[in-house]
Structure formats: structure tokens, C-alpha cells
Structure 1
Amino acid sequence: MVGQGKAVKVKMLFFGPLAERLGEREIEVALEHGTTGNQLIERFELSDFLDSGLRVAIDGQIGASLDTPLRDSSEVAFLPPVSGG
């Protein structure tokens, strides 16, 4: 039984085209304790964005494991691919 009914609050931050598409830059969601970054991505149907170069930072760490359960008050930022010139 994952989490046994406990919930954690997670802040999701969106940047660039994703923020424009969603019409939000920041939302707070309640998740079942034990929810991973990958499960959060599935729930909000963001997998296609990951495939096109979207990066995810958890609590300020880019490339953090998306298989690790999110903690209460975690911050998950969805960052667009960086283009340089």
C-alpha cells in the first residue's frame, strides 16, 4: 500500500512554452505519499515534453532521479531545452 493515505504537497514550476501552454507558471498539488517524479509527469501528461528535451529539476537539482519519491514541500521545475547561439 503506497503511502497509506498520507499526502504531500508539491510545487510545480513551469517555464517557457510549457508555461504559456498551461496558462500557469506555478501550481501546488497534493499527491499521495510515495509519488515519484515520473508519476507526477504521467499524471500531468508531460511525457511528450520530456521526449522533446524538457528538463526536470527537483529541489533545484537538474537531473535528479525521477524514480525517487517526492518529499513534502518539494519543488519540481520543468525547464525548456536551452538553445544557444
Structure 2
Amino acid sequence: MDLRFFTSKDSVFVKEVESCTGISQFRTVPYFTDGSIFNKESTIPMILLGPGLAEMAHQPNEFVYIKSYLDAIEHYKKIIRHTLRTSY
């Protein structure tokens, strides 16, 4: 079973997240995420957006900077607010 997924940088979803957060460094990554399981048909646009450093994920000394953690929470809030405003 192929569990890869891909969301184009040009998708409306990515553009809206960029607009909400000011983040524009989206790129393809070569690792597994639970999103692959929840979206097997790859019909829902997805991105991975979190506070951690990719190279630190699942390492014995994995950590997240507190500022990055708090920044991520603000980004999630902006995305949720934007989605709620444009969904109705």
C-alpha cells in the first residue's frame, strides 16, 4: 500500500495557510506521518506544520524550543480563525 501524499504548493489550502501564518517555506519531506493513514486517497489537502526540527523527530534527545511551541500555537489559532470565517 502506497501511503505517500502530496499537496501542491500552488493549492488554495497552502496559499491560505501561507497568508494566515506568513510561513512560505513549505517543501516535500521524505518521511511518514499519520496523515497518510487518515487520508489514504489523498483527497484532502494536508501539510505538516509543527514546532519541532525535522532532524530531531523521534531522536533520543528530541526537544522543542518553547518559543517555537508557542509560535506554533499562534499559527494554529490563525488557521482555525481563518477557516471558521471563510466556512460560513
Same fold (TM over 0.5): no
Higher relative contact order (CA 8 A, sep 6+): 1
TM score, norm. by length of structure 1: 0.30
Structure label with greater radius of gyration? 2
Higher fraction of strand: 1
